[in-house]
Structure 1
């Protein structure tokens, strides 16, 4: 099972540049091309939030148009720049929530593992929240008798990463309860996948790996000063590739750049001799 995680698209209506600088629509087009040409090709794509920049119908219509070229199934959860109603209306097949569900929480059957999406959006606020209803749903889902390994994916990470302006808008409400739920099932939960921070970050939280993916467009500036300003940098766009290894019974995560770079070149010549 190979899963591509793309996050923080920030698509603007009419191909508007994000922050008057970033051509996010073209960035998504390049990411789609990259996924389509991978060998082996991912089994699915998870979009972990901030699909749009303002969460408008027009933005999601542009995303729809670009994603028509994606040749693998894809699924979405919202980020703080999204709006649930327009997002669900635009992508009903990519957001398979149960009928009557107010939030975008759902489960994907990924063969040997389960993928559990969590909606951390607090509409109108940059920080994340998991209310009692969403956490109760997660508790019930983890207690439904399916004991396969599972991976959680949610937009906001629940940890401070040292980038001050992003730490102020991490998952706040519900983080402690989520930690209790995860810690009690740390043998089954293989990882928590997040977006939001626009940087590749890896740590351990509540006893499980927590993996934050970079953006496929622009990255948040790596500034660990206490008074570091809110800023972004045009560092290489990238995605995460999560590979479930059934033999080793583990999730392996690779960083994959969107752009094409020179290579690959062989280490050995046609006679098997190391090239020096």
Structure 2
């Protein structure tokens, strides 16, 4: 099974630039073409939040148009820049975006996809107006009960906010709430192969709760890797990146989920042509 992950698109209405610099619609178009050109094709695409910058309705309409050419199903969770109601209104055919406050997940956009070799569990880490994200006891209880339903199925959890500090100072000002509780919960569910997130606009990996947690780079822009605590908040227009999570079984080992980082060219040939290896030697 192949799972393509994209994140942090920060779309704005047609003709506008995000933060007066980033052509995020153009970047998403290139990413969609890139994913459709992968061979073998991914089974699904997951989007880990910040689809629209500022949650404007017309930004989601741009997102719907640009994501429509994807040849595989798309599943998404909101980010802190998203407006859940407007997101659900535009993506009206994504039934999982419609919530009810009396549901077991507390009215958050939390759901499980059971149709593939890897079980996909979406967690909504967004409380409106809160930048740092987190989970509440009700969402944690929902996650625990959902994981208990299928303890033997390899599982990927996807959400917007990483439950760990990134060392990018301005992104760590507001800690992820109940991260210790989430870590302890994951330790009781060894089928969780990966927890994958967005928000930081940089590829990051870390051990978390006995599993592996990753962060997907951004589509719209990349946050500068300045690890000084006093580093200013800002971004660069590096090429977009995606993560591809692959359920792999080789060398007679049990199936395992591994993750590849894939950069997306800004223009054809940016990274040069394909060069074959030849006359390869392994000195003795």
TM-score, structure 1 normalization: 0.92
CA 1:145–1:110 in structure 2 vs 1: closer, same or farther (change >3 Å)? closer
Q: 1:211 maps to what in 2? A: 214
1:254 aligns with 2:260: yes
The structure whose residues are more often strand, as a share, is 1
Q: Is contact 2:123-2:158 (8 Å) kept?
A: yes
1:4-43 aligned within 5 A: 4-43=4-43
Task: Give the whole-Å Cα distance in 1 for the aligned partners of 2:94 and 2:261.
Answer: 24
Task: Give the whole-Å Cα distance in 1 for the aligned partners of 2:97 and 2:111.
Answer: 5
1:1-276 aligned within 5 A: 1-94=1-94, 96=96, 100=100, 101=103, 102-145=107-150, 147-170=152-175, 172-185=176-189, 187-246=190-249, 248-259=254-265, 260=268, 261-268=271-278, 273-274=279-280
Task: Give the whole-Å Cα distance in 2 for the aligned partners of 1:134 and 1:202.
Answer: 24
Could you tell which deviates more after superposition, 22-31 or 229-238? 229-238
Aligned length: 269
Shift of 1:14: 2.5
Shift of 1:174: 2.1
TM-score, structure 2 normalization: 0.89
Task: Give the whole-Å Cα distance in 2 for the aligned partners of 1:115 and 1:97.
Answer: 15
CA 1:47–1:57 in structure 2 vs 1: closer, same or farther (change >3 Å)? same
Shift of 1:230: 0.7
Q: Is contact 1:161-1:167 (8 Å) kept?
A: yes
Structure 1 runs (4+) greater than 6 angstroms displaced:
none
Q: Is contact 1:107-1:115 (8 Å) kept?
A: yes
Task: Give the whole-Å Cα distance in 2 for the aligned partners of 1:229 and 1:5.
Answer: 28
Task: Give the whole-Å Cα distance in 1 for the aligned partners of 2:171 and 2:19.
Answer: 17
Q: Is contact 1:218-1:233 (8 Å) kept?
A: yes
Task: Give the whole-Å Cα distance in 1 for the aligned partners of 2:11 and 2:90.
Answer: 14
Q: Is contact 1:7-1:48 (8 Å) kept?
A: yes
Shift of 1:188: 1.1
Task: Give the whole-Å Cα distance in 1 for the aligned partners of 2:138 and 2:18.
Answer: 33
Unaligned runs of 5+ in 1: none
Residue deviations 1:161-201 (CA, integer Å, cap 9, x gap): 1111111245x22212111111121x211010010000000
Secondary structure of residue in 2 paired with 1:72:
coil
Task: Give the whole-Å Cα distance in 2 for the aligned partners of 1:86 and 1:152.
Answer: 24
Task: Give the whole-Å Cα distance in 2 for the aligned partners of 1:81 and 1:99.
Answer: 18
